[in-house]
Amino acid sequence: MSSELTQIRMIDWDRARMSRPFKRVAVLGAGTMGSQIAAHLANAGVSVLLLDIAPDNIAPNDAAPQDGNNPNAIVESGFNKMLRLRPNPLFTTATAKRIQLGNFDSNFDDLANVDWVIEAVLERRDVKESVMQRLEQVTGSSTVISSNTSGIPIEDLGKGRSDAFRARFLGTHFFNPPRYLPLLELVPTKDTDWDVVERVASFSRIHLGKGVVLAKDSPYFIGNRVGIYSMLVAMREQSSGGYTIEEIDTLSGTLVGRPKSATFRTADVVGLDVMKSVIDNLYEAVPNDESRELFKVPEFLNQLIEAGHLGSKTNSGFYQKAGGEILSFDLNTNSYQSAAELNLPALSELKNQRGLGNRLRALFDSTSRSGKFFKRTILETMAYAARRIPEIADSPADVDRAIRWGFGWRLGPFETWDVLGFERVVDAMNEAQIDFPDWVQGMSDDGQNSFYDSSTDPPTVFIPIEQTRIETKPPDDERSLTLLRGVPGRTVWESPDAALMDMGEGVVLFEFRTKANTLGAGVISGLLDAIDRIEGDPNIRGMVIGNEGSNFSVGANLGEVAAALLEGKFATVEEAVQRFQAAIQRVRYAQKPVVVAVHQRVLGGACELLLAAPSSVAAAESYIGLVELGVGLIPAGTGSTRLAAMASKNAPNGFDNEIQASLGRYFEQVAMARVSTSAREAQEMGYLPSQASIVMRPERRFEVAKQEVIRLSLAGYLSPVESDLITVLGSPGRAALEVMAYQFHQGRFISDYDFRLARELAKVLTGGDLPGSTSVDESYLLDLEREVFMSLLGEKKTQERIRHILEHNKPLRN
């Protein structure tokens, strides 16, 4: 790598936000990464030009293809492979239309008209250097050029180019898959204009939703250097520690705040051949790394690759699915075997530790096999991360962010170190004879007992090369609720289930804090109280509803429903449903603006809350749907009423056939319990209004929602009119929906009981037993949806479904 490591400056996010966004971006190379980078740029609304080489037997430029072959064959092949990937790289099917395909022979000159070119061609130095030479000849003087390489020095790729070219050239290392992994490592050289760095950083954060980290031009930058090391340390325990594949994945997954795929499943997803290539390249690239010998491909990995077991893409790697069973590769027999029972006797006790910090400390202290594995592997990883500073980054915070955003850890290595106790870790490393750098010992000698200091406002992090602390606050529009909770006087009201907090500037936030953020009685009572407060306080402009849970909400609290049913308290349940409806209606018709800010799963009752909200903000990765039929019920928290009202409103001329078209679409979505795969798709489905703000960076949703409350308040907010009548279609419309349900049933898309439920849904959506098209008010439909909901609660199969999902967290199709 580059012999001179560039010292990284801090990004001024306020200044960067003023940079011009990119409108047209080109991606060179339609391989796995290039095609998915193009897809995510299209997700952001950018016009994308995706180019790759033309086949060898294609005539150059505009000449006719020889033998009738397609000059875009290679780029089209890569593009079509991208379209088949799951999870989907694209937000919607229509998004793909933003990507224009071309080839290097016919379309390279078109790069003169783009704002940013991202090179993602074959990972060969000569190929990339040739591309850079051509780019300098074609692109405009303000066009930003970046490379997605992780194995070739960015500095080297700019050699031989003019000063003007190098000023607009940098590394942009996306993580795979680009839509779902937020990490983007920006790698400027000493020649890169800082305005270019901040422009790319700001665009990537706001428009692509990226967590941007500034990395140094060192081998494999930050994420892969530390992340791959951590995986190899864990894999080593298979041979040196006598742990099975399943045991290692159990101990390196969700238990310690890492993805469920853990170590070996992650390798299968990445591809064992790809992982081998990365490890081999890393070994060659780091001749002076004191831990270089670890970057040798484990022999068992070579064995699997030689046998053609490459991971998920060959349906066999470390794991293989056979029928309904997941087998794992036994290195002793060189065959796939059923999983053996875990020899981790203390595991259940460790799992019961509440909170990640407590669980990590318990593991660190445990002398069990589980504890010994964790202590060995985490000490090695933390020490290695410390030894890489300042080679890969100047700040421990950048290392932590890279591992969190690129590998899905909840805590990075230095954050974990602080949680375990700075001095305890230092002592444990000394005892285990694990080397750590002098600057860590210096911290210890000086009485610095943590990398992060959260007692200051804003928090700070220790910077070794400067022997000082600097602010580590996120951009102002990404301030977390955790920081808000820590400010005295910000909590207006709180209970075990919910809280109302002061966001500043006259805006409050209602946060629910239940398990999975379910909407139980405590949350509903809190919501009604919160609306009373904002309407009665002249100093409050309005309210945001949101939270920082793994999901916005999975819906109503079925546990409360099941408990009441067990005691035969149907009247209690009906009162709760009516109160739920009342709370949702209060949100819709509040006298001050209420903005719902959602993210991740927004299901059932949470979707009904979103449908009712006059204004909303959604993280792009929001998965929204009315899934009540899966538990034997229909939407009855105003959801069925809202769908009927939307279908009526969508009819431009008020004709029955226009209403039927919209209603049929909504009916199919609910009957099939369909959930959107993105916020954009939720807009297509009608679950998210077309005027809703969608933020690519989920951390920004609170600030965007807050500003929307302020905007609505300043404009002179008026709530929706309650007196609008809804046209329902009565028996003819109901019959049409029942025909649809019959077709679903005959096609075996739904079960017998699903068919029954769909007919009940059709009844509500069309107004019950009315003879024909009729105008009704909301209260009529609210009563009807509640009546049908309660009747279904008495059904044995509905009760079986509720019990099953509570016990197994999976729907039952009985």
Which whole number is the average pLDDT over 22-32? 97
d(CA 392, CA 412): 15
Assess contact for 36 and 89: CB atoms under 8 A: yes
- For residue 52, the cross-strand partners are 103
3-class state of residue 292 by DSSP:
helix
Mean of the per-residue pLDDT values of the chain: 93
Position with higher pLDDT, 15 vs 522 = 522
Assess contact for 727 and 649: CB atoms under 8 A: no
d(CA 207, CA 50): 19
User: Is the pLDDT confidence value at 771 over 80?
Assistant: yes
DSSP assignment of 428-463: HHHHTT----HHHHHHHHTT---SEETTSSS-EEEE
Nearest to 130 by CA among 147, 142, 143: 147
The pLDDT score that the predictor gives to residue 62 is 39
Which whole number is the average pLDDT over 459-485? 83
> How does residue 6 score in pLDDT terms, banded at 50, 70 and 90?
very low
478-503 pLDDT, tens per residue? 877 776 676 777 899 999 999 999 99
146: buried, middle or exposed (CB in 10 Å: 19+, 13-18, 0-12)? Answer: buried
User: Is the pLDDT confidence value at 801 over 90?
Assistant: yes
Which whole number is the average pLDDT over 579-584? 98
d(CA 777, CA 165): 66
Q: Is 464 left (phi over 0), alpha (psi -120 to 50) or beta?
A: alpha
d(CA 130, CA 108): 13
526-578 pLDDT, tens per residue? 999 999 999 999 999 999 999 999 999 999 999 999 999 889 999 999 999 99
Q: Is 601 left (phi over 0), alpha (psi -120 to 50) or beta?
A: beta
Cβ of 735: how many Cβ atoms within 10 Å?
12
Which whole number is the average pLDDT over 47-74? 73
The pLDDT score that the predictor gives to residue 483 is 64
In the block, residue with structure tokens 């890169």? 192
CA distances (Å), origin 581, targets 388, 570, 617, 783: 56, 17, 22, 10
User: Is the pLDDT confidence value at 517 over 90?
Assistant: yes
3-class state of residue 327 by DSSP:
strand
The pLDDT score that the predictor gives to residue 61 is 42
d(CA 685, CA 734): 21
318-374 pLDDT, tens per residue? 999 888 889 999 878 888 999 889 999 989 999 999 899 999 999 999 999 999 999
Q: Is 354 left (phi over 0), alpha (psi -120 to 50) or beta?
A: beta
Residue % of the chain over a pLDDT of 90:
87
3-class state of residue 597 by DSSP:
strand
CA distances (Å), origin 726, targets 400, 565, 786: 53, 33, 17
249-282 pLDDT, tens per residue? 999 999 999 999 999 999 999 999 999 999 999 9
The pLDDT score that the predictor gives to residue 2 is 39
Nearest to 802 by CA among 522, 551, 563, 575: 563
Helix (H), strand (E) at residue 379: helix 369-387
638-690 pLDDT, tens per residue? 999 999 999 999 999 999 999 999 999 999 999 999 999 999 999 999 999 99
297-328 pLDDT, tens per residue? 999 999 999 999 999 989 999 999 888 889 99
Nearest to 21 by CA among 38, 48, 46: 46
Between 62-66, 99-103, 376-380, 586-590, the lowest mean confidence (pLDDT) is in: 62-66
**Start-to-end Cα distance in the chain:** 60
Helix (H), strand (E) at residue 366: none
405-422 pLDDT, tens per residue? 999 999 999 999 999 999
The pLDDT score that the predictor gives to residue 5 is 40
| Contacts for 487 with CB less than 8 Å, ≥ 6 apart | 457
The pLDDT score that the predictor gives to residue 596 is 98
Compute the 3-state secondary structure of the chain and give helix, strand, coil in percent, each to the nearest 5. Answer: 50, 15, 35
Between 51-60, 152-161, 656-665, the lowest mean confidence (pLDDT) is in: 51-60
795: buried, middle or exposed (CB in 10 Å: 19+, 13-18, 0-12)? Answer: middle
Nearest to 561 by CA among 574, 578, 544: 574
Q: What's the half-sphere exposure (Cβ side, CA atoms, 13 Å) at 462?
A: 21
The pLDDT score that the predictor gives to residue 58 is 52
* Omega within 30 of 0 (cis) for the link into 182: no
Residue 68 in tokens: 């009738």
Residue 587 in tokens: 């949100």
Between 66-75, 110-119, 375-384, 722-731, the lowest mean confidence (pLDDT) is in: 66-75
User: Is the pLDDT confidence value at 7 over 60?
Assistant: no
> How does residue 242 score in pLDDT terms, banded at 50, 70 and 90?
confident
CA dihedral over 305, 308, 313, 314, signed as positive or negative? negative
The pLDDT score that the predictor gives to residue 34 is 97
Helix (H), strand (E) at residue 316: none
CA dihedral over 679, 680, 686, 689, signed as positive or negative? positive
Assess contact for 49 and 110: CB atoms under 8 A: yes
d(CA 339, CA 508): 51
d(CA 497, CA 88): 35
Which residue stretches of 672-700 are H helix? 679-685
Packing angle between helix 730-746 and helix 752-765, nearest 10 degrees? 160
Residue 492 in tokens: 């207006």
User: Is the pLDDT confidence value at 782 over 80?
Assistant: yes
For residue 320, which phi and psi values (nearest 5 degrees)?
-145, 135
d(CA 743, CA 739): 6
The pLDDT score that the predictor gives to residue 356 is 95
Residue 399 in tokens: 């290392």
Distance of CA 683 to the CA centre of its chain: 18
The pLDDT score that the predictor gives to residue 3 is 34
> How does residue 456 score in pLDDT terms, banded at 50, 70 and 90?
confident
Q: Are strands 774-776 and 726-728 parallel, antiparallel or unpaired?
A: antiparallel
User: Is the pLDDT confidence value at 789 over 60?
Assistant: yes
Residue 604 in tokens: 């059932």
Residue 798 in tokens: 């509905």
Nearest to 703 by CA among 6, 2, 17, 11: 17
| Contacts for 755 with CB less than 8 Å, ≥ 6 apart | 741, 742, 744, 745
* Omega within 30 of 0 (cis) for the link into 178: no
